[in-house]
Structure 1
């Protein structure tokens, strides 16, 4: 009986796997940008705090984190090549994000920056503006300044910018999702939010 049940389950699952392969097609829903995948599954989201689409994508990012496996690493990469602000100001925002990451409060503080720009419609012109956002959200000024000059945070900024350089030819706009270092997700017209989330999560399972 157990053997029969296992065979029935296998027969049920195989069509589902085939269906997924048919739904997500190379060249249409994703690009292969490298020959080899990373050793561990990962999602890199290239984004800008100034980008309205990136702000709108935040609920989808939250869904991706919920649906992806425990073995998958999710990391935001803040770009510095958008026309919304000067490169120096974009670099300041990258540093602020890394201060939030070092404080283990990245998600909440990222949300505060997004809200400041897109909801309050307030300009960010310097690191001081970002420091004020953090202070309003419970981070001491002295702590922000100490972390901002720390080796750890500056190393995280350097790593962020190295990742930009590594994938720059494949990331021409934001938000962009590079999965397992091998795949770039493509969101075609007509895809629902759930389909976009499922595509990225599905790509984490591909090698």
Structure 2
């Protein structure tokens, strides 16, 4: 009887697993951009602080991060090719983000920058404006300025820019998610927020 029950459950579960594998299809829900995946599972979100869609996507980013397996890293890569402001200002924002990352306060400080641009409707004209945002959010001015010129932060900026350069040809716009260095997520019109989150999580498990 026990063996019969096991066989029955297997007969039920196998079709379900097959359906789950067919939920997302290449070409419609994702593109394969490389023959080889990264050694470690990772999700890269290419975004811009000036992008209203990126700002609106932040709650979904939080959901994605909470649902990823512990062995999957998630990292934002800041783009500097948006038309809303100059490349130099966007590069300063990249540096500010890396200061937040080095301080282990990236999420909170990124939110503050987003709010400054999209909620307060204020303009970033220099690194000083970004420093003021950080100060309001509890970062010491001297610490900000010290870190802005530090080797560690400049190394993080360099890593960000190398990733941006490496994947630039695959970025039609932002936000764009590159998963495991091999897959570019595609969001179709009939996908809801939960579907978008589930797609990224599913791709993170593919090799």
Structure 1 length-normalised TM: 0.96
- SS at structure 1 position matched to 2:77: strand
- SS at structure 1 position matched to 2:43: strand
- Total equivalences in the alignment: 207
Alpha-carbon distance change, 143 to 12 in structure 1, aligned in 2, over 3 angstroms? farther
Distance in 1, matches of 2:185 and 2:128, equals 35
| Partner in structure 1 of residue 19 of structure 2 | 19
Alpha-carbon distance change, 69 to 128 in structure 1, aligned in 2, over 3 angstroms? same
| Partner in structure 2 of residue 190 of structure 1 | 190
Distance in 2, matches of 1:100 and 1:3, equals 56
Deviation at 1:202, TM superposition (A): 0.3
Distance in 2, matches of 1:142 and 1:158, equals 23
Alpha-carbon distance change, 6 to 115 in structure 1, aligned in 2, over 3 angstroms? farther
| Partner in structure 1 of residue 42 of structure 2 | 42
Report whether the alignment pairs 1:177 with 2:161.
no
- The runs of at least 4 aligned residues of structure 1 exceeding 3 Å deviation read 1-13
Report whether the alignment pairs 1:154 with 2:154.
yes
Q: Deviations over 1:144-167 (max 9, x none)?
A: 000100000000000000000110
What are the equivalent positions in structure 2 for 1:84-163 lying under 5 Å apart? 84-163=84-163
Distance in 1, matches of 2:55 and 2:204, equals 23
Q: Deviations over 1:109-154 (max 9, x none)?
A: 0000001111111111110000000000000000000010000000
Structure 2 length-normalised TM: 0.96
Distance in 1, matches of 2:200 and 2:112, equals 25
Cα RMSD of the aligned pairs, angstroms, is 1.3
Q: What are structure 1's unaligned runs of at least 5 residues? A: none
